Chains A and B, each alone.
Chain A
Amino acid sequence: MMNIALIGNPNTGKTSLFNNITGSYEYVGNWSGVTVEKKVGIFKNGKGQLIDLPGVYTLNPLSKDEGVVTNFFLSESFEKLLNILDASQLRRNLHLTLQLLEYGAPVTIGLNMLDVARSRGIEIDIDKLAALLGVSVAPVVARSGKGVKDLAEMVTDEIACPGKANLVYYGKAVEDGVLELGKMLNGRTNQPVRWLALQLFEGNPFVRSYLESYLSAEQLNSLVISVSEAQNRQTGKEQALDQVIHRKRSEAIDKIVNAVAAKSDDKKVPLTEKVDMIVTNKFLGIPIFLLLMYVMFMLTFDWLGFPLSDALDAFLSGPVTAGITAALSAAGASSFIEDLVLDGIVAGVGGVLVFVPQIFILFFFISLLEDSGYMARVALVMDRLMESVGLNGKAFIPMMIGFGCNVPGIMAARTIETPKERLMTILLTPLMSCSARLPVYALFVGAFFLGNKALVVLSLYVLGVVAALILAKVFSKTLLKGETSVFVIELPPYRLPQARALWRSTWDKGKGFIKKAGTFIFAGSVLIWLLSYAGPEGVNVSMDESYLASLGSIFAPLFAPIGFGTWQASASLFTGFLAKESIISTMNIIYFVPDEATLQGLMASHYTPLAAYSFMVFILLYIPCLATTATIYKETASKRWTAFSILYALAIAYILSLVIYQGGRLLGLS
């Protein structure tokens, strides 16, 4: 099947186009060596597959994320490129396009956001653009899907031509350098020499290391230096090669844009700027952000999520359990099987599934923030605060995503350009309270803090953030000193999110939770139930004499000073390492209850409200779950940092719970 790569600047509607052009994902995985998400989809017309590349401004990478694209060009095979352009930012977008043309693969261009351009008074002559570049250009509206079908046909059917590779003349010195590199390589590589040379002169580190497999570093150095000297001699000016190349491209682009774009002066103040005057306002910026967070939490826990979860709980513990019981007895199942299914699987898996509505609401809001363009504003508004602890505003985005799930949060840290800040963000994102921790809170606040559920939960989220910020300060002063922090961020125009895209990204995030319930939690529940069913004395023992109880009792004394020295608590903390939500399934099994409501009633006799809060704080911080730990290891490629991320979390969780529990008791709380 034909492989077509989708490439474009960030925020040009690449993801929308991908979603509209392909029916479903053929494959979602990671790029080799790095955990940047790699998405491959089949064209709706079935004639090829589309590979989604990370958004880049140029093929000369600054962050690891961007390096993926350069590596793709150097080491993977593909037949065509689909380049999406933002018509309202044609100049900037064409820098990438020119590099693609220099690469020489067949390119088809999708011209997006013509409406935005029009509202700025820019009209673009599409045919002229196509003629000047020598490739096919089709207008699309990526968000609504208008024109996408024609574009797809164009990409898959037409015999695409490689376009004009020599649109830019870079001056004698550079062009001579291109020829010189060609001589040195002498046909040993099948990559386009002109493209390799220009990227090398621009300082592209990936291309340089690729070339080092054919030529020595000294040969390359002397070539670059001689070109640079020749350039300075010929122009009589001291200028870095990358700037020379960039300027030449800009000049060529100016000519193209002047020929194809007509600008009129009837532009209005875009809505985006009006919105920005409010949300990034000096005084209102942070309060508005906090207010949005508050509404999000109230909806998730109180106004909408709670009643929905309650209804689902009633459904699962009522009709579903009754149905399964009837089916089991009709099938003549033994009492062992019946116990395993009802007390183990239904209690364990059902106890987690109950929280699906709340988790989807949370994911919906995170998708909404991402899709609308507000996330970048959050980074801007938060930068001052983050700078004071040695991070930059962009680190806030992985943390926000971490509220949904720590794993994609840690991956999102790839967009942070400086290694030190990226490492800190990876280490601290697990302190963000992910959605899997939410069932635990929901259970406990339902039992102990009925009056102010959302506020108590919010306090835990805030605690996680505050702990992360304080630790960031500590880490940047001790372990990770040096390296200046930088921050440049693009603020894309606001876009009204589209229902379908929003649902798709909510579902993409939320389905993992359901999948986990069917696999990890299922297996865990069976195991826990078996451990609670059997004991040193034999099978079907009372819970207090089970293996689970003896296992839990070993560690229970450790947790006594922080308020929950029962074997039940320590047993559930163990399973929490597999996945945080298994804490709930374990408790359901241990306390042997059919539904959440009864469990909450029972909790009251095992925990005081203070101990319950201390327990929640401990759950919030104590350890990244298995999947998160694996991701930290993959991202940092360091056993030391992975171990560190577990150990510091344990320490900070214990200390904070101790302070809260003992401090609370001193203050007379219970």
Chain B
Amino acid sequence: MLGKLKTGEKGRIMNIAGADQFVRRRLLDFGIAEGSEVCVKCILPFGGPVMVESCGQCIGIRRKEALRIEVERV
């Protein structure tokens, strides 16, 4: 799960279907979908959002959404 990666770790998105529909659509707008490589840049404290880098752009999503996105470590 994306939410389980530590700062600096990289992964490839395997399945995004578990995430909220709105979040999925927005990620798609950013060009992030199954197969995209992502890197966790920063995790905010107290269960706050995670900052993820993919293809040179940074986005922020909530931890609970990140926990619904399957990734495999690379």
Contact = CB atoms under 8 A, between A and B. Distances in A.
A349 B49 CA distance: 47
B57 A486 contact: no
B9 interface: no
A596 to B, nearest CB: 44
B46 A384 contact: yes
A88 B55 CA distance: 9
A89 B56 contact: yes
Interface stretch (A128-136, A276-284, A443-451, A507-515): A276-284
Contacts, number: 103
Interface in A584-610: none
Contacts of A283: 45
Interface of B: 20, 22-23, 25-31, 33, 41-49, 51, 53, 55-62, 65
Nearest to B61: A488
Given A280-B51, A281-B42, A62 B60 contact: no
Interface of A: 57-58, 62, 88-89, 91-92, 95, 120, 246, 250, 272-273, 276-277, 280-283, 285, 376, 379-381, 383-384, 387, 393, 417-418, 484, 486-491, 493
B49 A380 contact: yes
A-B complex: 3 closest residue pairs judged by Cβ atoms: A384-B48, A57-B29, A491-B58
Nearest to B64: A387
Given A57-B29, A57-B30, A62-B26, A276 B58 contact: yes
Contacts of B41: 273, 276-277, 280
Contact of A490 (B23, B33, B49, B59): B59
Contacts of B62: 383, 387, 486-487
A579 B41 CA distance: 45
13 contacts: A92-B30, A92-B55, A92-B57, A272-B58, A383-B48, A384-B44, A384-B49, A418-B22, A487-B62, A488-B23, A488-B61, A489-B61, A491-B57
Contact of A277 (B30, B42, B44): B42
Given A95-B29, A489-B61, 12 more contacts: A91-B55, A92-B57, A277-B42, A280-B44, A285-B44, A486-B20, A486-B23, A487-B49, A488-B65, A490-B30, A490-B57, A491-B60
Contacts of A489: 59-61
A282 B62 CA distance: 15
A341 B11 CA distance: 71
A393 B22 CA distance: 16
A422 to B, nearest CB: 14
Contacts of B25: 62
Given A283-B45, A490-B30, A380 B51 contact: yes
A79 to B, nearest CB: 28
Given A57-B29, A92-B29, A384-B49, A282 B61 contact: no
A282 B42 CA distance: 8
A91 B55 CA distance: 9
**Counting chain A CB atoms within 10 Å of each CB, which of B26, B31, B65 scores highest?**
B31
B56 to A, nearest CB: 6
A91 B31 contact: yes
Contacts of B20: 484, 486
Contacts of B45: 282-283, 384
B44 to A, nearest CB: 6
A384 B51 CA distance: 13
A41 B28 CA distance: 33
Contacts of B31: 89, 91-92, 95, 250
A417 B55 CA distance: 25
A490 B58 contact: yes
Contact of A488 (B27, B42, B43, B44): B27
A437 to B, nearest CB: 31
B57 to A, nearest CB: 6
B16 to A, nearest CB: 11
A89 B55 CA distance: 8
Contacts of B33: 246, 250
A497 to B, nearest CB: 19
A644 to B, nearest CB: 27
A58 B48 contact: no
Contacts of A91: 31, 55
Contacts of B30: 57, 92, 490
B42 A384 contact: no
Contacts of A246: 28, 33
B46 A58 contact: no
B51 A276 contact: yes
B29 A58 contact: yes
Given A89-B57, A92-B29, A488-B60, A381 B22 contact: no
A490 B56 CA distance: 12
Contacts of B28: 246
Contacts of A120: 56
A486 B22 contact: yes
